[in-house]
Chain A
Amino acid sequence: MNLDVVHDIQTVYRKLVTATSRPGTLVVLEREAKTLGVQIECLSSTILLARTVLDPEVTFKVIAKEEEAVSRMINQLTYSKPVELPEADFIFILHDASEEQLKEALNHAKVGNLLNPHESAMIILEVPDVTKGDSMILSGPGIQQESIITLPNATSWLGARNEKNREFPLGIDMYFVDQQDRLIALPRTTQIKGNGGEIIWDMLQ
C-alpha cells in the first residue's frame, strides 16, 4: 500500500489535532507509516508530518548528520524551502543530531511576537522511545488536572524549551516522534515539572 495523500494524510492530521489538543497523549502513526516503506535517512513519522504540514507556502530546517540529503528529500516531497534556523516555520531535529545541535536549534527557533504569536516554529524531534526516559508532570490546557509522562533525554531539551516558552503566548510547539511511529505533542501552553526531581536541566534564571 502506497501513501494515499488524501486519506492517509487526513488521518495523520487528525492524530496531530488529538496530540496537540491533549498534550502528553500518545498517538500512533503505525498504519500510515507502513505505507511509506523503509526510510533510511529519517523516521517514517517525520516524513508523514512533513507531508501533512509542508508546502511551498512555508519553510523548514533539518538538523541532522545528513542534513543536506534529508533537506533535499523533504523539498522534493513537499516543494517547501529549506531556510536558516531563525526563519524556519518547521524544524526537524533528527535522531542523530548532537545534544549541542539540539540546544542550538531550540535556542534559535522563532517564537513569534505579541501581535503574531502564531509566527513561531513547530519543532519535530526524533527520539528513540516516547515512553521511556525522564518522568515529568504536565499541566495546562488540554490536560485534566495533571498527567505524568516519560520522555527521553529531558536534560538536553527541557531547559531550552522552558526558556523559549516563558512568555506566553510566545513560544514553540514540540512534537516528539519515535521509531515505533508514536507521537506526543507538548505545545507551548503545557507546564512541565520534574516528577520526583530527577530531571536536572540548565536553569537559566
Chain B
Amino acid sequence: MNKTYNFAFFDEGSKREIRRATLKAIAIPGYQVPFASREMPIGRGWGTGGLQLTLSLIGKDDVLKVIDQGSDESVNAVNIKKLVSDTTGVRTTESTADASLIQSRHRVPEVPLQRDQILILQVPLPEPLRNFEPSEQETKKLHAEREYSGAWLMLFEQIMKYGIMATDADHPVMVHDRYVMAPSPIPRFDNAKLDDSEALILLGAGREKKVYALPPYTNVSSLAFDDYAFEIESFTNHACILCGSNDLFLDELVDGESGETYFQCNDTSNCLEMVNQKQISGVK
C-alpha cells in the first residue's frame, strides 16, 4: 500500500461531496445529481466517474472486482484495480460472487448480483436526451416536466429507418415510472438485470459530473412500443466455444487462421467458472 496517498486516494472533503450526491441519487432513482468531479490520475473516458464512486465507497473490508466490457484483464480494468488497491490495500477478485464492490464498464455481470453487493457502472454520456437536445438546460427542463415525447420519437424514427430498434447499447430505460435514464453502454441483453435488482446499482459520469442510482427492487423498464417490443440480442443458434452456454451474452469472434467465426462468452470470469465446474462434475 502506497503511504504517500490518502486512503482511497481522495481527501475526505472530496469523498464527502460525492457521498452527499450519492445519497441524494439513491433517494431520487434515475435522477442525475451533479457533483464536483475531481481530476484523476487516469485518462478521461477511462471511467473516472465510476472510479470516484468506488473510491468514495470503499473500506478496508471490501473486496473489489473491476471489469471492462466483460473482461477482468483489460489494461483499463487492471489499471483501475491497481490504483484502488495501491491506495487502500483492499483485496481484488475476478469472481463476481466474492466481490462486495463491482466496478464495470459496458456490462452487468452474468452471475446474479446479491444484496450485499454494489455495482458501479462507468458512464460516458449520462444524458439519454442528448441525442436530440444539445442544451443541458433544456434536457433538465424536459426531465423536470417529464416531457419524454422526444425520446420516444427518437426510437420511433430508428424503427422507421431500420425496421427494428437500432440502439445496440445504452438503450434508454424508464425508472420508477418517473425518469428516463441512460443505463450506460451495456448491451440490451443486460437491461433486464437492472429491473428489480437485488443489489444497489450506482452510475457515475466523470466528465459530465453526474451520479445517479438504481436502488434495489426498483422498477426499470426499457423504452418500447406496443407494436415494436423491446428485443434483446439473441444468440440462441450459437453457443460459447469454451463453456457451451447459449443463454448468455456472447461475442462473435473470427479465428485468425481459418477465418471462421465462433462465439465466446463476453463475461470471461463467469465463463471460466462454468468451464471449471464442468471439469469438476466430469471427474465424478
Seen from chain A, the residues whose Cβ lies within 8 Å of a Cβ on chain B are 5-7, 9-11, 13-14, 16-17, 20-22, 52-53, 55, 57-58, 113-115, 117-118, 120, 122, 141-144, 168-169, 173, 187-189
The reply to whether B217 and A144 form a contact with Cβ atoms under 8 Å apart is yes
The reply to whether B28 and A188 form a contact with Cβ atoms under 8 Å apart is yes
B7 at the interface (CB under 8 A from A): yes
Query: What are 6 pairs between A and B in contact, CB < 8 Å?
Result: A10-B8, A21-B200, A115-B140, A115-B144, A120-B24, A169-B179
The reply to whether A16 and B23 form a contact with Cβ atoms under 8 Å apart is yes
Counting chain B CB atoms within 10 Å of each CB, the highest count among A6, A143, A188 belongs to: A6
The reply to whether B57 and A57 form a contact with Cβ atoms under 8 Å apart is no
Q: How far is the CA of A118 from the CA of B29 in the complex (A)?
A: 11
Nearest A residue to B218 by beta-carbon distance?
A: A141
The reply to whether B16 and A55 form a contact with Cβ atoms under 8 Å apart is yes
Q: A6-B7, A13-B19, A173-B27 are in contact. Are A141 and B60 (CB under 8 A)?
A: no
A17 surroundings in chain B (CB, below 8 A): 22-23, 26, 57, 118, 200
Nearest B residue to A144 by beta-carbon distance?
A: B217
Nearest B residue to A188 by beta-carbon distance?
A: B27
Counting chain B CB atoms within 10 Å of each CB, the highest count among A17, A144, A189 belongs to: A17
Q: How far is the CA of A72 from the CA of B17 in the complex (A)?
A: 22
Seen from chain B, the residues whose Cβ lies within 8 Å of a Cβ on chain A are 6-8, 12-13, 15-17, 19-29, 31, 33-34, 56-60, 118, 140-141, 144-145, 176, 178-179, 200, 213, 215-219
The reply to whether B19 and A52 form a contact with Cβ atoms under 8 Å apart is yes
Main secondary structure of the interface of A (DSSP, over half): loop
The reply to whether A7 and B59 form a contact with Cβ atoms under 8 Å apart is yes
The reply to whether A118 and B33 form a contact with Cβ atoms under 8 Å apart is yes
The reply to whether A55 and B19 form a contact with Cβ atoms under 8 Å apart is no
The reply to whether A20 and B26 form a contact with Cβ atoms under 8 Å apart is yes
Q: How far is the CA of A29 from the CA of B26 in the complex (A)?
A: 20
B12 surroundings in chain A (CB, below 8 A): 5-6, 9
The reply to whether A114 and B19 form a contact with Cβ atoms under 8 Å apart is no
B56 surroundings in chain A (CB, below 8 A): 13
Q: How far is the CA of A29 from the CA of B84 in the complex (A)?
A: 26
The reply to whether B7 and A21 form a contact with Cβ atoms under 8 Å apart is no
